[in-house]
Chains A and B, each alone.
Chain A
Amino acid sequence: MQMHSLSFDVSHTLAGSLVLISFMMLYQDRLYSLLNVFALHALVLALSVAWQAFVQNAPHLYVTAAIALIFKAIIIPVALHRIVKQLGIHRDIESAVGIGPTMLAGMGLVALSMVLMLRVTAEADPLAREDLAFALSVVLLGLLVMVTRRNAVSQVVGFMSLENGLILAATGAKGMPLVVEISVAFSILIAFIVIGIFLFRIRERFDTVDLQALERFRGEQP
């Protein structure tokens, strides 16, 4: 097959490793290791986006790659490390569901997204369709991380990995406008919420970022 050129292989490898790293997130039971894995996730995303920028000859995508590298692979993990340290929750084992069922569910989700996207996009070019299938897997695995974790920090990590999947999809869609704007908008969203946890809100008021503690304050209780 002629289409399996070098550019195809490299972007395929990078997107595939994003899915694998998403899987690694599923079985991390310490917050520090979860943050390290997320930093790796963001790093691979940055490489993947930079490769797309090179292949598609789209220099503006380098901006998105730089955001992924500097903001998501360095600043956010470091900031979250400090939060975890200050709150003293680094020893917590905090997944709500066991690792076995979570991994099984993850495999199911990846299979689902492959079947769905490959069938639907039969006419699109092979690079785009497989990229999209991988991206949907990353999105769904991110959702799974959010669902299976109780703790606010790891929910944010889940959300960020979900967002990495979206950026992967957006850069894989050749020539899509507004990708840079969208990645900036997402970064602002995340920055706000990390600052929110960090500075005043959740830490000051709850002395814990465990969402079960938040649940106690449901307004409906008499």
Chain B
Amino acid sequence: MNPGSFDAVTAVLVIPAATAALLAVLPGYRLTSRLNVLAAFLTFLAALSLLVVRPLPGLYLLVDDTNIVFIVLSTFVGFTTSAFSASYIAHELETGRLTPINLRFYHAMYQVLMFAMNLALVSNSVGLMWVAIELATLTTVLMVGIYRTHQALEAAWKYFILGSVGIALALFGTILVYMAARPVVGEGVDAMLWTVLIDHVAAFDPGMLNVAFVFLMLGYGTKVGLAPLHAWLPDAHAEGPTPISAVLSGLLLNVALYAVLRFKMLLAGNSGALAPGPLMITMGLSSLLLASFMLYRRRDIKRLFAYSSIEHMGIITFAFGLGGPLANFAGLLHMTMHSLAKSGIFFAVGHIAQVKDTQKIADIRGLTTGHPALGWGFLIAVVAIAGLPPFGIFMSEFLVATSTIAHQPWLALPLVIGLLVSFGALILRLQGMAFGAPSPQPHKPVSASLVPLWAHLSLVLLAGLHLPAALVQWFQSVARILG
């Protein structure tokens, strides 16, 4: 193994872990928030270096075509969110919603979350990935409850209960995968490694794999926020600190989806096993339809975009369930675009909630006149997430729709209905919030840093206008592996 390249994978894990320990003991907002940003940036650089030099798979860590997309995306959004978090948290400290002790806890937990997500993405072992996703769940539960209001505690409790049941089911599925692998691969660590499993999967007992996949799909599907297991998601997004909503929507849902995709690849390698497609298509479509109608009844701005996340995760799961190079390509693109656009929206929403001192949609009016930079940024971000051209999400949704029409035309009807309904809901809500006379507001200047928002939006716009050929090739190769 090349020692220099091994360092990059280790760095992706060690930097957040070490920083978390450091942030837990260091006092002071100025220092710790900068350290947080710096650590996230270094992690991102380490992840970028993986693009150039890729280490060989080890016993525990693995970097291949599939997960490198996720690692780079995850560390990038982690970095921009930490920059947003610095300006967001400053305001929360001023208004006294967070105490200095809470802040220390928050920063440490942020890095632990980054560590857990990166570990889940790079782990070569099915069991290690499960432990990492459990750790990520635990840290986000604690962060969601950090404000200790009634609502925050209820949201954290609900998230804990549903999330734990989800990961428990996923563990049962993981054990079944091991049991299926054991007769072929032999006992011990080997029977849990992705690299070994994928080579031998053709000889596994298909019945065991089928049952295992159902458990894994339900378990990790809970974490993806797929209907009917989505109940935790809106509460957790609405009641926690907004940077956490951004990380939840932009990253954690992807990590859980990554786990589902890995197991889907495994099943695709066994001819006797059931096709995972129909299960994913059903869950994806029902999430899309449910969320799109639920969007109309939202009164809380963060809940609105939480439901929009359910909707988009539904589209992505649907696309991967459909399978084939084109649909997988569309799914990957949509996942990337959604991560960027949705976390961008939460950056804007965080500052809007601070400026207006409320999360109620009815009390937010005339953003574009009251706060032009923030308002227009928000407007553009919502237009992007709603799926209008020229943004990247338009392109990926278009690709999903065309590949549906090509393969299974009758599925295109519910898909397009879902897309249109949610589009209508978002534009309807957007009008009220962005235009009209500005609502009266407490006179409190908020120093909002809009750089992360614009960075994300320009990436989404660039992807919509022109996807670099290298990126297209890369997505295409991953799409082929996904089968």
Contact = CB atoms under 8 A, between A and B. Distances in A.
Contact of B192 (A123, A139, A177, A205): A177
Contacts of A193: 160
A97 B166 CA distance: 23
A178 B165 contact: no
B54 interface: no
Contact of A192 (B130, B142, B154, B169): B142
Interface in B161-183: 161, 164-165, 168-169, 171-172, 175-176, 178-179, 182-183
B34 interface: no
B145 to A, nearest CB: 7
Nearest to A166: B171
B154 A175 contact: no
Given A136-B172, A169-B172, A222-B299, A120 B208 contact: yes
Contacts of B208: 120-121, 124
A189 B164 contact: yes
Contacts of A43: none
A162 B157 contact: no
B303 A201 contact: no
A153 B446 CA distance: 42
Interface in A139-195: 139, 143, 146, 152, 155, 159, 162-163, 166, 169-170, 173-178, 181-182, 185-186, 188-189, 192-193
A217 B238 CA distance: 13
A178 B160 CA distance: 23
Contacts of B468: none
A173 B154 contact: no
Contacts of B151: 217-219
B127 interface: yes
Interface in A13-29: none
B207 interface: yes
A173 B239 contact: no
A99 interface: no
Contacts of B207: 119-122
A116 B182 CA distance: 20
A219 B239 contact: yes
A134 to B, nearest CB: 13
B125 interface: yes
A180 to B, nearest CB: 11
B48 interface: no
A128 interface: yes
Interface residues of B, number: 49
A222 B130 CA distance: 39
A44 interface: no
Nearest to A120: B207
A116 B165 contact: no
Given A116-B211, A192-B142, A219-B303, A206 B150 contact: yes
A216 B418 CA distance: 31
B178 A173 contact: yes
Contact of A214 (B128, B134, B153, B211): B153
A86 B9 CA distance: 48
Interface in A49-74: none
Interface of B, secondary structure class, is: helix
Nearest to A56: B187
Interface string A106-138: 000000000011011111100010001001100
A181 B131 contact: yes
Contacts of A174: 182, 187
A87 B191 CA distance: 47
A198 to B, nearest CB: 14
A202 interface: yes
Contacts of B138: 188-189, 192
Nearest to A171: B175
B197 to A, nearest CB: 13
A202 B154 CA distance: 9
B227 to A, nearest CB: 17
Nearest to B132: A185
B165 A146 contact: yes
A219 B161 contact: no
Contacts of B135: 185
Given A169-B172, A178-B128, A205-B153, A120 B303 contact: no
Nearest to A190: B164
B96 interface: no
A174 B182 CA distance: 8
6 contacts: A121-B179, A122-B207, A175-B188, A177-B188, A177-B189, A196-B145
Q: Which 7 A-B pairs have the closest CB atoms?
A: A175-B187, A178-B127, A217-B150, A120-B207, A177-B189, A214-B154, A219-B151
